[in-house]
C-alpha cells in the first residue's frame, strides 16, 4: 500500500504581497503523527514556523474546529500568531471550511480566526477573489519589569543600540524599548550575543515616526529556537499591545514589523477580557504534498 500524501501550503502572513511578511508552512493531516516526524518536517522546511492542522469532530451547530500545533526548526512552541493566520488563510482560501469562523484547539487553549470583509486596495497583489482580512483572538502576554540589569550586554547584542527600558514577557522574552522606530528598523542584531543572553529571545520596539501611519515598530530575535529573526511575530504583538496601551493611552494600533521582509499588524486590545485581536492578510506562495 502506498504512503498517504500530506498536503501542504507555504503562506506569507501579515502581508498581501508574495515574499513579504512571515512565511509559514501549513500541513493538513488526516491522522495524528508522532512528534519526531512533526519536528523533522519542520526542520526540513526550515521556516520560522511549520504548523499542523488535523480536523476535529465538533458538536452540531458549532464552528469547524481543528487541532493546531506549531514547530520551529528545533522545537514546539506554545503560541504562534503568523502560522495561525496562515492556517486560517489556507482553510478559507481552499474552501475547506464553509463558515467565516474557525476554532483552533492549541496549547494556549481555543483560538478563534474570523474572516473579515474589507475593500481590496486598488494596487493589491493578493490572490483572494474578494477583499478580506483575518482576525485572530489571542490571549494577552504580560510584560513586567525584570531584575536583569545588564544594560550593556543587551546593548552589545543589539550592536550598541541605546536601551531605554528592559522588561520581560510572561513567555520569557526580553522586551526592550529603543528611543525610536528608526532605531528599531536600523538595528543590526548580533545573533551570537543574543544566543548567549538569558531568556528565550529579544523583542525590540520603539515609537513610530510621526506621519508614518503606524503607532510603533518592532522586531523579534529568537536564535535559541532556530529563528535568528522572526519576520513578523504575532505572539510578540500580544505583549506589544498591552505595553503600548500604557504608553499611548489607546487600545487600537497599526504596527509595523520592521524586519527586512516587513509586515503590518492591526491590533485591538480588550483590557477587560485580556485578549488581543490581531488582524492581517496573507498570500499563498507554494503548495504541494509531502512524500514521507
Domain boundaries, the chain: 6-137+279-290, 143-273
Per residue in 56-99, pLDDT tens? 987 767 899 999 999 999 999 999 999 999 999 999 999 999 99
Contact 154, 166 (CB under 8 A): yes
Q: Name the DSSP letter for residue 2.
A: P
Residue whose C-alpha cell reads 498591552 in the numeric block: 242
Give the 3-state DSSP-derived string for 50-113, with helices as H, strands as E and coil as C: EEEEEEECCCCCCCCEEEEEEECCCCEECCCHHHHHHHHHHHHHCCCCCCCEEEEEECCEEEEE
How confident is the prediction for the chain on average, in pLDDT? 94
Query: Hey, how many other C-beta atoms are within 10 angstroms of the C-beta on 224?
Result: 17
Sequence-separated (6 or more) residues with CB below 8 Å from residue 130: 117, 120
pLDDT at 129: 45
Please say whether the structural domain 143-273 has been given the CATH code 3.40.1710.10. no
**CATH code assigned to 6-137+279-290:** 3.10.310.10
Our answer to whether residue 103 is catalytic in this structure is no
pLDDT at 75: 97
Q: Which of 125-134, 143-152, 271-280 has the highest mean pLDDT?
A: 271-280
Give the alpha-carbon dihedral of 102, 103, 104, 108, to 10 degrees: 140
Catalytic residue chosen out of the listed positions 44, 49, 168, 182? 49
Backbone angles phi, psi at 140, to 5 degrees: -65, 140
- Based on the number of CB atoms within 10 Å of its own CB, is 272 exposed (0-12), middle (13-18) or buried (19 or more)? exposed
Task: Output 37 or 122, whichever has higher pLDDT.
Answer: 37
- Segment 137-152 shows an average pLDDT of 93
**Does residue 178 have a pLDDT over 90?**
yes
Long-range contacts of 264-269 (CB under 8 A, 24+ apart): 264/14, 264/15, 265/14, 265/232, 265/234, 265/237, 266/133, 267/237, 267/240, 267/241, 269/140, 269/241, 269/242, 269/245
Amino acid at each position: 500500500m502506498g504512503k498517504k500524501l500530506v498536503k501542504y501550503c507555504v503562506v506569507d502572513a501579515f502581508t498581501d504581497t508574495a515574499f513579504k511578511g512571515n512565511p509559514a508552512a501549513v500541513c493538513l493531516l488526516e491522522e495524528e503523527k508522532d512528534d519526531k516526524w512533526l519536528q523533522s518536517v519542520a526542520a526540513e522546511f526550515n521556516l520560522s514556523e511549520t504548523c499542523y492542522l488535523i480536523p476535529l469532530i465538533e458538536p452540531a451547530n458549532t464552528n469547524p474546529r481543528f487541532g493546531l500545533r506549531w514547530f520551529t526548526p528545533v522545537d514546539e512552541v506554545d503560541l504562534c500568531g503568523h502560522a495561525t493566520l496562515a492556517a486560517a488563510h489556507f482553510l478559507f482560501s481552499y474552501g475547506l471550511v464553509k463558515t467565516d469562523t474557525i476554532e483552533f484547539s492549541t496549547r494556549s487553549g481555543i483560538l478563534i480566526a474570523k474572516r473579515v470583509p474589507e475593500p481590496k486596495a486598488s494596487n493589491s497583489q493578493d490572490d483572494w477573489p474578494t477583499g478580506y482580512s483575518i482576525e485572530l483572538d489571542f490571549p494577552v502576554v504580560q510584560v513586567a519589569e525584570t531584575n536583569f540589569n545588564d544594560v550593556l550586554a543587551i546593548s552589545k547584542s543589539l550592536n550598541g543600540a541605546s536601551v531605554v527600558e528592559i522588561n520581560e514577557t510572561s513567555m520569557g522574552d526580553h522586551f526592550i524599548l529603543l528611543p525610536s522606530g528608526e532605531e528599531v528598523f536600523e538595528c543590526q542584531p548580533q545573533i551570537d550575543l543574543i544566543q548567549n543572553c538569558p531568556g528565550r529571545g529579544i523583542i525590540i520596539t520603539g515609537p513610530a515616526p510621526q506621519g508614518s501611519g503606524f503607532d510603533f515598530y518592532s522586531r523579534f530575535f529568537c536564535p535559541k529556537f532556530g529563528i535568528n529573526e522572526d519576520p513578523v511575530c504575532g505572539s510578540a504583538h500580544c505583549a506589544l499591545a498591552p505595553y503600548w496601551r500604557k504608553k499611548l493611552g489607546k487600545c487600537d494600533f497599526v504596527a509595523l514589523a520592521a524586519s527586512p521582509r516587513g509586515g503590518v499588524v492591526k491590533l485591538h486590545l480588550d483590557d477587560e477580557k485580556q485578549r488581543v485581536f490581531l488582524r492581517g492578510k496573507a498570500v499563498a506562495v507554494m503548495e504541494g504534498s509531502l512524500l514521507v
